Amino acid sequence: MGKVKFESEVDRSFTEEILSEPGGEAILKCIQCGTCSSTCPLSHFMDYTPRQIIYMVREGFKKEVLSSRTLWICASCFSCVVQCPSGIKIADVMHIIKRKAMAEGVYPKDEFLPKLYKSFYESVKASGRINETNVVRKASLGKALGMLGLGLKLRGKGRLSLAEESVKDVSQVRKLIEEAEKA
């Protein structure tokens, strides 16, 4: 876990922010049993386990939490959520933290998912719908070339359309998104 910190070095307002969001309210009930980390199918790839993340959020280790790779390894399978004996929605806490890391731009730059999320978001905002393949292509900037062979196979089976669809009432969906962004 991160180095020992003096009280003056931790950010207690970070803890308060997480507590105030839907899904974040139960983190103070954590008993550090580690059920989340043991049921997590991906914890062995993480820099901090889910149990450590909850502890660090609680203690105000904002910088370490927001820049952790763990956020981009969690696949949101919700195994931790349904098994936590204290009723903490760990996966939802991850989502709250991810939103903050995205907003502050402090995620590891070699992680793919933040780029994918941005590309996805822009596409929804533009037309109200997405084309998965195009979203991935835009996010990976040519790195998806390694998947070209697979892409061609899928295309041969009619399973990889590049057609962009749009909702009919684009202005309504754009307004909906803009109003929600302000809300």
Partner 1 sequence: MKYAYYPGCTLRASYPHVDMSLKSVFRVLGVELVEIDDWNCCGSTAVENISEAVSLALSARNICLAAKISDTMLTPCTECLLQQRRVLYIMEQYPKVREKVLKVLEKVGLEWKPVKVVHPLEIVVNDIGLDKVKEKVKRDLSGIKVVPYYGCLITRPYGSEHPLYPTSMDELFSALKAEVIDYPLKTKCCGATLTATGDERGLSLVYQLLKDAKRRGGNVIVVPCTVCQFNLEVFQDKISTMYGENVSIPVLYFTQLLGLALGLSESELGIDKLLVPFSISAR
**Which listed range, 29-37, 48-56, 58-66, 164-172, lies at the site for partner 1 (CB under 8 A)?**
164-172
For partner 1, the closer of residues 28 and 162 by Cβ is 162
For partner 1, the closer of residues 56 and 74 by Cβ is 74
* Amino acid (1-letter code) at residue 8: S
Q: What's the sign of the alpha-carbon dihedral 174, 176, 179, 181?
A: negative
Contact between 16 and partner 1 by CB under 8 A: the answer reads no
**Residues numbered 99-128 forming contacts with partner 1, rule: CB under 8 A:** 99, 102, 112-113, 116-118, 120-121, 123-124, 128
Cβ 79 vs Cβ 31: under 8 Å: no
Contact between 150 and partner 1 by CB under 8 A: the answer reads yes
**φ, ψ of residue 80 in degrees (nearest 5):** -65, -40
Give the number of C-alpha atoms closer than 13 A to the C-alpha of residue 148, restricted to the C-beta side. 4
Q: How far is the CB of 29 from partner 1 (least distance, A)?
A: 17
